[in-house]
Protein backbone atom coordinates (compact mmCIF):
# COMPACT_ATOMS: atom_id res chain seq x y z
CA UNK A 1 0.00 0.00 0.00
CA UNK A 2 1.19 3.54 -0.70
CA UNK A 3 2.79 5.23 2.32
CA UNK A 4 0.18 7.99 2.42
CA UNK A 5 -2.58 5.44 2.73
CA UNK A 6 -0.78 3.63 5.52
CA UNK A 7 -1.02 6.73 7.67
CA UNK A 8 -4.76 7.16 7.31
CA UNK A 9 -6.22 3.79 6.44
CA UNK A 10 -8.97 2.21 8.47
CA UNK A 11 -8.96 -1.50 9.16
CA UNK A 12 -12.41 -2.38 7.93
CA UNK A 13 -12.35 -6.07 8.80
CA UNK A 14 -10.22 -8.26 11.01
CA UNK A 15 -9.98 -12.06 10.99
CA UNK A 16 -9.06 -12.11 7.31
CA UNK A 17 -6.79 -14.21 5.09
CA UNK A 18 -3.17 -13.21 5.22
CA UNK A 19 -0.13 -12.70 3.11
CA UNK A 20 0.88 -15.38 0.64
CA UNK A 21 1.59 -18.95 1.56
CA UNK A 22 2.91 -21.56 -0.83
CA UNK A 23 0.65 -22.32 -3.82
CA UNK A 24 -0.73 -25.81 -3.60
CA UNK A 25 -1.08 -25.78 0.17
CA UNK A 26 -4.44 -25.58 1.90
CA UNK A 27 -3.98 -24.29 5.45
CA UNK A 28 -5.92 -22.11 7.83
CA UNK A 29 -6.07 -18.43 6.82
CA UNK A 30 -4.07 -16.02 8.96
CA UNK A 31 -5.53 -12.91 10.54
CA UNK A 32 -5.11 -9.66 8.65
CA UNK A 33 -7.34 -7.06 7.02
CA UNK A 34 -8.63 -7.65 3.50
CA UNK A 35 -9.97 -4.14 2.86
CA UNK A 36 -8.64 -0.63 3.43
CA UNK A 37 -11.09 2.26 3.65
CA UNK A 38 -10.10 5.93 3.60
CA UNK A 39 -13.21 8.05 4.32
CA UNK A 40 -13.79 11.08 2.11
CA UNK A 41 -15.42 14.49 2.37
CA UNK A 42 -16.35 15.02 -1.29
CA UNK A 43 -19.01 13.48 -3.60
CA UNK A 44 -16.32 11.27 -5.20
CA UNK A 45 -15.57 7.65 -4.30
CA UNK A 46 -12.82 5.54 -5.88
CA UNK A 47 -12.36 1.82 -5.40
CA UNK A 48 -9.79 -0.73 -6.54
CA UNK A 49 -11.11 -4.30 -6.25
CA UNK A 50 -8.38 -6.07 -8.23
CA UNK A 51 -5.00 -4.70 -7.10
CA UNK A 52 -4.69 -6.93 -4.02
CA UNK A 53 -1.38 -8.73 -3.47
CA UNK A 54 -1.92 -10.59 -0.19
CA UNK A 55 -2.20 -14.24 -1.24
CA UNK A 56 -3.98 -16.20 1.51
CA UNK A 57 -2.47 -19.33 2.97
CA UNK A 58 -5.68 -21.25 2.23
CA UNK A 59 -5.61 -20.50 -1.52
CA UNK A 60 -4.48 -24.00 -2.48
CA UNK A 61 -3.66 -23.06 -6.08
CA UNK A 62 -1.57 -25.32 -8.30
CA UNK A 63 0.18 -22.35 -9.94
CA UNK A 64 3.31 -20.46 -8.93
CA UNK A 65 3.04 -16.93 -7.56
CA UNK A 66 4.48 -15.27 -10.67
CA UNK A 67 1.72 -16.80 -12.80
CA UNK A 68 -1.00 -15.89 -10.30
CA UNK A 69 0.19 -12.28 -10.15
CA UNK A 70 -0.53 -11.72 -13.84
CA UNK A 71 -4.22 -11.57 -12.90
CA UNK A 72 -3.70 -8.51 -10.70
CA UNK A 73 -4.58 -4.95 -11.67
CA UNK A 74 -1.00 -4.24 -10.71
CA UNK A 75 -0.12 -0.82 -9.23
CA UNK A 76 -3.62 0.64 -9.63
CA UNK A 77 -3.61 1.65 -5.96
CA UNK A 78 -0.36 3.56 -6.56
CA UNK A 79 -1.72 5.37 -9.61
CA UNK A 80 -4.55 6.87 -7.54
CA UNK A 81 -2.53 7.44 -4.36
CA UNK A 82 -3.17 11.20 -4.72
CA UNK A 83 -6.93 10.80 -4.19
CA UNK A 84 -7.32 10.79 -0.37
CA UNK A 85 -5.48 14.11 -0.04
CA UNK A 86 -8.19 15.65 -2.25
CA UNK A 87 -10.96 14.44 0.09
CA UNK A 88 -11.87 11.51 -2.17
CA UNK A 89 -13.05 8.33 -0.45
CA UNK A 90 -10.86 5.33 -1.25
CA UNK A 91 -11.66 1.61 -0.92
CA UNK A 92 -8.98 -0.97 -1.71
CA UNK A 93 -9.04 -4.76 -1.67
CA UNK A 94 -5.93 -6.57 -0.45
CA UNK A 95 -7.06 -10.09 -1.37
CA UNK A 96 -6.15 -11.13 -4.92
CA UNK A 97 -8.73 -11.10 -7.65
CA UNK A 98 -7.72 -14.62 -8.68
CA UNK A 99 -8.63 -15.83 -5.16
CA UNK A 100 -12.04 -14.12 -5.16
CA UNK A 101 -13.29 -11.53 -7.65
CA UNK A 102 -15.19 -8.79 -5.82
CA UNK A 103 -16.39 -7.46 -9.18
CA UNK A 104 -18.59 -10.52 -9.65
CA UNK A 105 -21.87 -11.33 -7.97
CA UNK A 106 -21.98 -14.25 -5.56
CA UNK A 107 -24.33 -15.99 -8.03
CA UNK A 108 -21.57 -16.04 -10.70
CA UNK A 109 -20.05 -19.32 -9.57
CA UNK A 110 -18.86 -22.29 -11.62
CA UNK A 111 -20.17 -25.15 -9.50
CA UNK A 112 -17.91 -27.64 -11.30
CA UNK A 113 -15.13 -26.26 -9.08
CA UNK A 114 -16.87 -27.64 -5.98
CA UNK A 115 -16.77 -31.00 -4.27
CA UNK A 116 -20.43 -30.77 -3.28
CA UNK A 117 -23.77 -29.13 -4.05
CA UNK A 118 -23.86 -25.33 -3.79
CA UNK A 119 -26.81 -24.39 -1.56
CA UNK A 120 -27.10 -20.74 -2.60
CA UNK A 121 -28.56 -19.11 -5.76
CA UNK A 122 -26.70 -19.41 -9.08
CA UNK A 123 -27.21 -17.08 -12.04
CA UNK A 124 -28.92 -18.35 -15.18
CA UNK A 125 -28.35 -15.15 -17.18
CA UNK A 126 -26.55 -16.10 -20.45
CA UNK A 127 -24.55 -12.85 -20.46
CA UNK A 128 -23.32 -13.52 -16.93
CA UNK A 129 -22.59 -17.15 -17.70
CA UNK A 130 -20.41 -16.20 -20.68
CA UNK A 131 -17.75 -14.97 -18.24
CA UNK A 132 -18.24 -17.99 -15.99
CA UNK A 133 -17.66 -20.24 -19.01
CA UNK A 134 -14.36 -18.44 -19.61
CA UNK A 135 -13.35 -19.36 -16.07
CA UNK A 136 -13.82 -15.81 -14.79
CA UNK A 137 -16.61 -16.10 -12.27
CA UNK A 138 -16.60 -15.22 -8.59
CA UNK A 139 -13.89 -17.87 -8.13
CA UNK A 140 -11.61 -18.11 -11.14
CA UNK A 141 -11.12 -21.50 -12.80
CA UNK A 142 -8.57 -20.49 -15.45
CA UNK A 143 -6.00 -17.74 -15.92
CA UNK A 144 -6.31 -15.37 -18.87
CA UNK A 145 -4.15 -17.80 -20.84
CA UNK A 146 -6.27 -20.82 -19.96
CA UNK A 147 -4.09 -22.38 -17.26
CA UNK A 148 -6.11 -24.33 -14.65
CA UNK A 149 -5.75 -22.60 -11.29
CA UNK A 150 -6.55 -25.66 -9.16
CA UNK A 151 -5.68 -29.33 -9.25
CA UNK A 152 -8.31 -30.02 -6.63
CA UNK A 153 -11.94 -29.31 -5.96
CA UNK A 154 -12.87 -26.60 -3.50
CA UNK A 155 -15.18 -27.29 -0.59
CA UNK A 156 -18.45 -25.45 -0.27
CA UNK A 157 -17.31 -24.28 3.16
CA UNK A 158 -14.11 -22.66 1.88
CA UNK A 159 -15.89 -20.80 -0.92
CA UNK A 160 -18.47 -19.52 1.54
CA UNK A 161 -15.63 -18.47 3.84
CA UNK A 162 -14.01 -16.49 1.01
CA UNK A 163 -17.29 -14.70 0.41
CA UNK A 164 -17.66 -13.87 4.10
CA UNK A 165 -14.05 -12.76 4.60
CA UNK A 166 -13.56 -10.88 1.33
CA UNK A 167 -16.64 -10.21 -0.82
CA UNK A 168 -19.03 -9.06 1.91
CA UNK A 169 -16.69 -6.58 3.65
CA UNK A 170 -15.54 -5.16 0.33
CA UNK A 171 -19.06 -4.53 -0.92
CA UNK A 172 -20.11 -3.16 2.46
CA UNK A 173 -17.20 -0.71 2.33
CA UNK A 174 -18.03 0.51 -1.19
CA UNK A 175 -21.75 0.83 -0.38
CA UNK A 176 -21.07 2.77 2.81
CA UNK A 177 -18.61 5.13 1.10
CA UNK A 178 -21.11 5.89 -1.68
CA UNK A 179 -23.99 6.32 0.77
CA UNK A 180 -21.91 8.75 2.84
CA UNK A 181 -20.91 10.79 -0.23
CA UNK A 182 -24.50 10.91 -1.43
CA UNK A 183 -25.81 11.93 2.01
CA UNK A 184 -23.29 14.77 2.22
CA UNK A 185 -23.81 16.23 -1.25
CA UNK A 186 -27.09 14.95 -2.69
CA UNK A 187 -25.24 13.01 -5.40
CA UNK A 188 -22.26 10.69 -5.71
CA UNK A 189 -19.70 9.88 -8.40
CA UNK A 190 -18.08 6.47 -8.10
CA UNK A 191 -15.08 5.48 -10.21
CA UNK A 192 -14.38 1.76 -10.23
CA UNK A 193 -10.64 1.61 -10.94
CA UNK A 194 -9.03 -1.13 -13.02
CA UNK A 195 -6.19 -1.93 -15.39
CA UNK A 196 -6.08 -4.20 -18.43
CA UNK A 197 -3.38 -5.94 -20.46
CA UNK A 198 -2.28 -4.39 -23.72
CA UNK A 199 -3.68 -7.42 -25.56
CA UNK A 200 -6.60 -9.51 -24.31
CA UNK A 201 -5.67 -13.06 -23.33
CA UNK A 202 -7.27 -16.17 -24.83
CA UNK A 203 -9.57 -16.69 -21.83
CA UNK A 204 -9.86 -13.05 -20.67
CA UNK A 205 -12.85 -11.70 -22.57
CA UNK A 206 -15.11 -12.48 -25.51
CA UNK A 207 -12.56 -10.66 -27.69
CA UNK A 208 -9.34 -12.70 -27.37
CA UNK A 209 -6.35 -11.06 -28.98
CA UNK A 210 -7.95 -7.61 -29.01
CA UNK A 211 -5.43 -4.76 -28.75
CA UNK A 212 -6.86 -2.48 -26.10
CA UNK A 213 -7.09 1.28 -26.24
CA UNK A 214 -5.25 3.32 -23.62
CA UNK A 215 -8.49 3.65 -21.62
CA UNK A 216 -11.88 1.98 -21.64
CA UNK A 217 -14.70 3.86 -19.89
CA UNK A 218 -17.80 1.81 -19.07
CA UNK A 219 -21.23 2.64 -17.67
CA UNK A 220 -23.16 -0.40 -18.90
CA UNK A 221 -24.57 1.54 -21.85
CA UNK A 222 -25.62 4.54 -19.78
CA UNK A 223 -27.47 2.55 -17.12
CA UNK A 224 -25.06 3.12 -14.21
CA UNK A 225 -24.16 6.78 -14.80
CA UNK A 226 -25.19 9.80 -16.76
CA UNK A 227 -23.83 9.40 -20.32
CA UNK A 228 -22.88 13.07 -20.16
CA UNK A 229 -20.67 12.37 -17.17
CA UNK A 230 -19.03 9.43 -18.94
CA UNK A 231 -18.55 11.64 -22.00
CA UNK A 232 -16.79 14.23 -19.81
CA UNK A 233 -14.33 11.57 -18.66
CA UNK A 234 -13.72 10.34 -22.21
CA UNK A 235 -13.25 13.90 -23.43
CA UNK A 236 -10.74 14.69 -20.70
CA UNK A 237 -8.66 11.59 -21.40
CA UNK A 238 -8.67 12.15 -25.16
CA UNK A 239 -7.57 15.75 -24.62
CA UNK A 240 -4.62 14.35 -22.66
CA UNK A 241 -3.59 12.42 -25.77
CA UNK A 242 -4.93 8.96 -24.91
CA UNK A 243 -6.99 6.64 -27.10
CA UNK A 244 -10.33 5.92 -25.40
CA UNK A 245 -13.10 3.38 -25.99
CA UNK A 246 -16.55 3.71 -24.44
CA UNK A 247 -18.34 0.52 -23.29
CA UNK A 248 -16.14 -1.71 -25.46
CA UNK A 249 -14.89 -4.26 -24.68
CA UNK A 250 -15.62 -3.51 -21.00
CA UNK A 251 -19.01 -2.08 -20.04
CA UNK A 252 -18.55 -2.42 -16.30
CA UNK A 253 -19.53 -5.35 -14.14
CA UNK A 254 -20.95 -5.97 -10.67
CA UNK A 255 -19.65 -3.00 -8.69
CA UNK A 256 -21.00 -0.37 -11.08
CA UNK A 257 -24.14 -2.42 -11.76
CA UNK A 258 -24.90 -2.78 -8.07
CA UNK A 259 -24.15 0.78 -6.93
CA UNK A 260 -24.86 2.94 -9.96
CA UNK A 261 -28.33 4.46 -10.23
CA UNK A 262 -28.31 7.74 -12.16
CA UNK A 263 -32.03 8.30 -11.50
CA UNK A 264 -31.06 8.59 -7.83
CA UNK A 265 -28.03 10.75 -8.65
CA UNK A 266 -25.67 7.86 -7.95
CA UNK A 267 -23.23 7.62 -10.82
CA UNK A 268 -20.87 4.62 -11.14
CA UNK A 269 -18.32 4.36 -13.95
CA UNK A 270 -15.67 1.72 -14.60
CA UNK A 271 -12.29 3.03 -15.77
CA UNK A 272 -9.78 0.62 -17.32
CA UNK A 273 -6.15 1.69 -17.88
CA UNK A 274 -3.87 -0.07 -20.35
CA UNK A 275 -0.94 -1.48 -18.37
CA UNK A 276 1.50 -0.72 -21.19
CA UNK A 277 1.19 2.95 -20.21
CA UNK A 278 2.86 2.53 -16.83
CA UNK A 279 4.45 -0.91 -16.33
CA UNK A 280 6.35 -3.79 -17.86
CA UNK A 281 3.71 -6.52 -18.12
CA UNK A 282 6.31 -9.29 -17.85
CA UNK A 283 8.30 -8.11 -14.83
CA UNK A 284 5.48 -5.99 -13.27
CA UNK A 285 8.01 -3.17 -12.83
CA UNK A 286 6.69 0.37 -12.95
CA UNK A 287 7.76 2.72 -15.75
CA UNK A 288 8.35 5.98 -13.83
CA UNK A 289 7.67 8.39 -16.69
CA UNK A 290 4.44 6.67 -17.66
CA UNK A 291 3.32 6.44 -14.05
CA UNK A 292 4.01 10.13 -13.45
CA UNK A 293 2.10 11.14 -16.57
CA UNK A 294 -0.89 8.99 -15.63
CA UNK A 295 -0.98 10.33 -12.09
CA UNK A 296 -0.90 13.92 -13.30
CA UNK A 297 -3.62 13.38 -15.91
CA UNK A 298 -5.86 11.41 -13.58
CA UNK A 299 -5.41 13.89 -10.77
CA UNK A 300 -6.56 16.61 -13.19
CA UNK A 301 -9.55 14.40 -14.07
CA UNK A 302 -10.47 13.92 -10.41
CA UNK A 303 -10.19 17.66 -9.79
CA UNK A 304 -12.44 18.28 -12.78
CA UNK A 305 -15.02 15.82 -11.43
CA UNK A 306 -14.87 17.49 -8.02
CA UNK A 307 -15.75 20.78 -9.69
CA UNK A 308 -18.58 19.23 -11.72
CA UNK A 309 -22.12 18.85 -10.40
CA UNK A 310 -23.91 16.28 -12.60
CA UNK A 311 -27.41 17.16 -11.36
Supply the pLDDT for residue 80: 97
Whether the full predicted model's pTM is greater than 0.75, yes or no, is yes
Supply the pLDDT for residue 202: 78
Question: Which phi and psi (to 5°) does residue 195 adopt?
Answer: -135, 165
Supply the pLDDT for residue 203: 75
Instruction: List, for the chain, all residue ranges whose pLDDT scores fall below the cut of 70.
Output: 1-32
Supply the pLDDT for residue 33: 85
Supply the pLDDT for residue 117: 95
Q: Where are the beta strands (DSSP E) in the chain?
A: 10-11, 35-38, 44-48, 89-93, 188-196, 215-218, 244-246, 266-274
Determine the length of the chain.
311
The predicted-structure confidence for 185-198, as pLDDT tens digits, reads as follows: 999 999 999 999 99
Supply the pLDDT for residue 18: 32
When computed from its CA atoms, the radius of gyration of the chain, rounded to whole angstroms, is 18
Supply the pLDDT for residue 24: 34
Supply the pLDDT for residue 15: 27
Helix axes 227-239, 288-306, angle to 10 degrees: 140
CA–CA dist 12, 1 (Å, integer): 15
Amino acid sequence: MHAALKLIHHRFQQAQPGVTGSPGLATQPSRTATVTVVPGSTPLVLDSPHSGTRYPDDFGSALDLATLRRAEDTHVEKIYAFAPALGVAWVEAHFPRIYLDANRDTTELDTSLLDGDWPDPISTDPKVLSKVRLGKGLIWKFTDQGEPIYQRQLTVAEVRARIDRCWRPYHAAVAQAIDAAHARHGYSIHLNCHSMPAVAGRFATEFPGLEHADFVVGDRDGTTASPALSALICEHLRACGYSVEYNHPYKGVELVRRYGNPAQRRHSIQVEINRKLYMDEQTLAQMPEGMARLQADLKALVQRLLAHDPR
